[in-house]
A and B are shown apart, each in its own frame.
Chain A
């Protein structure tokens, strides 16, 4: 076995596998894993995490947002904590690794530190965030947004799932008081740094043959709804030149979106129309309306908005050309964010120290650590995703030995941060 920082043994792939499988079994019936945000199953999974951590002798509590936090005391309790963790909720019919990988990593690091008798100076906190997936309530990272003060008790009263359940009611149903979520807000002076391990959810690492990814920037996203209004009329009775076909116009907008993102000035821009609603939706009626839901993602802040503007201008052009109405609404807008260099350097140094090949890379998806970065400097470790990077689907898979290696890098990084910040404070 290799040694981490000369103090801690490395993690065994078998142990990681046992935990991943245990959490994967906690699911609604059906393909893959279904363990939705603020559901009973999510709470049960948090309870399993809490039980393991208590068995290790850690102090465990659940905060007012439903996040579960376990603390391993440091030698100097006056110091702010170093944290790691991820989430245990899933999308409907998702995989076994998204979020779970980072929680299992936290458990394994806690075991390494406790059994290896590691003398961390800063307190170490292991966190499971509630409700990371936006699949149910349309907002991602709810638990971590709450700790960062980005989502408040008034916000939780406005978000509704597909069955009409208000987020606040879903929280109350599982024993969380939605009026008190502000109690969960983290204080800046109570947290020194945070590192999250997560599966890549892409195929960069397997393509380049690196076993660990270090995230340097998290993508931003501008979301638009483009409403196209044409004229619904009989498909047989309306000649082609008399039409105002909303769907044909929408199709042109979609292809333009793809063209913009493929342009040479847009390495790193991704534009997707992931949802389209067409009315009246009859095979014998020319579509009178089409609603496009557009996601513009970028690692470049201004370029993201410029790409969105370009698409909007193109949509209006299509409207003019085809005689259909265009209206655009901005649904959401979040900037890309560079993650702190010095946390990243700790991870890179730790990976090198273990002889692990790493790649510095952007994260295309948003993650809890992005929200945590509003409280304290945060870093992210990616572990390769197999099956062409498929995620949010039952085929989602990461190798257990890759996960174990990622946990080794995580453990070493946390200790490196502990030692560096300790050295600086003296």
Chain B
């Protein structure tokens, strides 16, 4: 292999495609036999959380004031992205509508979540009521139902279902 040059650290880093493939393989390893992934199963592993945070961070536009997630399932994910980017966060209890952490009128927020539940729109609605402006919304896993416009998912069903083995899914 070639000697490493001035771009030393990036040369050790994996290329984007194999980084993504490895992460998809780890997610598949934690899926059940039907290909369903439990959020806590993946978010409780630092190696996975770290990589997800990095991938999500790379999708965020500049100018985001705050990250927002659903309280409970996505606490760990939002914290990890906050640590990775330095952007503060708040979590919203979608059942009660309570906001944990600061969130102010007219702030530009990015929603970060593991997976949008089918038909879930509550978090967006609550943020609208609070006067926040949702700039972007990123999910780790694509929703079962068709995602709304502006929703980005890092991994689709084809990445997670299929053989529970490393390498690109069929």
A residues at B contact (CB < 8 Å): 188, 217, 222, 299-303, 305-306, 308-310, 312-313, 316, 327-331, 333, 335-342, 373-377, 424
B54 in the interface, Cβ–Cβ < 8 Å?
yes
Known: A303-B50, A327-B3, A342-B33. A313 touches B9 (CB 8 A): yes
B26 in the interface, Cβ–Cβ < 8 Å?
yes
Report how many A-B pairs have Cβ atoms within 8 Å: 96
Q: How far is the CB of A148 from chain B (nearest CB, A)?
A: 9
B163 in the interface, Cβ–Cβ < 8 Å?
yes
A308 touches B12 (CB 8 A): yes
Q: How far is the CB of B78 from chain A (nearest CB, A)?
A: 19
Closest B residue to A376 by CB, please name it: B165
Cβ contacts under 8 Å, A188 to chain B = 163, 165
Known: A330-B4, A341-B29. A312 touches B163 (CB 8 A): no
B31 in the interface, Cβ–Cβ < 8 Å?
yes
Closest A residue to B6 by CB, please name it: A316
B50 touches A328 (CB 8 A): no
Q: How far is the CB of A102 from chain B (nearest CB, A)?
A: 20
Cβ contacts under 8 Å, A340 to chain B = 28-29, 164-165
A373 touches B47 (CB 8 A): no
Per-residue 0/1 for B66-98: is the Cβ within 8 Å of any A Cβ (1 yes, 0 no)? 000000000000000000000000000000000
Cβ contacts under 8 Å, B4 to chain A = 312, 327-330
Q: Which of A313, A341, A373 contacts B165 (CB 8 A)?
A: A373
Q: How far is the CB of B77 from chain A (nearest CB, A)?
A: 16
Known: A329-B1, A377-B165. A339 touches B8 (CB 8 A): no
Other contacts beyond A188-B165, A329-B2, A374-B166: 7, CB < 8 A? A301-B23, A302-B54, A309-B8, A330-B4, A338-B45, A340-B29, A377-B165
Closest A residue to B26 by CB, please name it: A338
B46 in the interface, Cβ–Cβ < 8 Å?
yes
B147 in the interface, Cβ–Cβ < 8 Å?
no
Q: How far is the CB of B8 from chain A (nearest CB, A)?
A: 5
> Which of B1, B8, B46, B47 has the most chain A CB atoms inside 10 A of its CB?
B47
Q: Which of A299, A305, A328 contacts B13 (CB 8 A)?
A: A305
Which residues of chain B from 14 to 42 have a CB within 8 Å of any chain A CB? 14, 18-19, 22-23, 25-26, 28-33, 41
Tell me the complex Cα distance, A333–B33, Å: 30
Known: A299-B47, A335-B22. A312 touches B12 (CB 8 A): yes
Cβ contacts under 8 Å, A376 to chain B = 163, 165
B105 in the interface, Cβ–Cβ < 8 Å?
no
Per-residue 0/1 for B142-166: is the Cβ within 8 Å of any A Cβ (1 yes, 0 no)? 0000000000000000000001111
Q: How far is the CB of A425 from chain B (nearest CB, A)?
A: 10
Q: How far is the CB of A361 from chain B (nearest CB, A)?
A: 14
A305 touches B14 (CB 8 A): yes
B117 in the interface, Cβ–Cβ < 8 Å?
no
Cβ contacts under 8 Å, A310 to chain B = 9
Q: How far is the CB of B10 from chain A (nearest CB, A)?
A: 8
Q: How far is the CB of B58 from chain A (nearest CB, A)?
A: 13
B47 touches A336 (CB 8 A): yes
* B interface: dominant SS: helix
B31 touches A341 (CB 8 A): yes
Contacts A/B (CB < 8 Å), 9 sampled: A188-B165, A217-B47, A309-B8, A328-B4, A329-B1, A330-B4, A337-B22, A337-B29, A342-B164
Known: A188-B163, A300-B47, A335-B22. A305 touches B8 (CB 8 A): no
B29 touches A339 (CB 8 A): yes
Cβ contacts under 8 Å, B48 to chain A = 338
B165 touches A309 (CB 8 A): no
Tell me the complex Cα distance, A336–B9, Å: 19
Known: A300-B47, A331-B1. A305 touches B12 (CB 8 A): yes
Q: How far is the CB of B161 from chain A (nearest CB, A)?
A: 14
Cβ contacts under 8 Å, A302 to chain B = 47, 50-51, 54
Cβ contacts under 8 Å, A306 to chain B = 9
Q: Which of A313, A336, A342 contacts B8 (CB 8 A)?
A: A313
B14 touches A341 (CB 8 A): no
Closest A residue to B10 by CB, please name it: A309
Tell me the complex Cα distance, A246–B18, Å: 36
A301 touches B51 (CB 8 A): yes
Cβ contacts under 8 Å, B12 to chain A = 222, 305, 308-309, 312, 330, 333
Q: How far is the CB of B6 from chain A (nearest CB, A)?
A: 10
Q: Which of A222, A335, A341, A374 contacts B32 (CB 8 A)?
A: A341
Tell me the complex Cα distance, A12–B38, Å: 40
A329 touches B3 (CB 8 A): yes
Q: How far is the CB of A17 from chain B (nearest CB, A)?
A: 35
Cβ contacts under 8 Å, A341 to chain B = 29-32, 41
Cβ contacts under 8 Å, B9 to chain A = 306, 309-310, 312-313
Closest B residue to A371 by CB, please name it: B166
A342 touches B32 (CB 8 A): yes
A328 touches B3 (CB 8 A): yes
B131 in the interface, Cβ–Cβ < 8 Å?
no
> Which of B4, B9, B18, B31 has the most chain A CB atoms inside 10 A of its CB?
B4
Closest B residue to A337 by CB, please name it: B166
Tell me the complex Cα distance, A306–B12, Å: 8
Closest B residue to A217 by CB, please name it: B47
Cβ contacts under 8 Å, B46 to chain A = 300
Tell me the complex Cα distance, A154–B13, Å: 27
B8 touches A312 (CB 8 A): yes
Q: How far is the CB of B55 from chain A (nearest CB, A)?
A: 10
Cβ contacts under 8 Å, A373 to chain B = 165-166
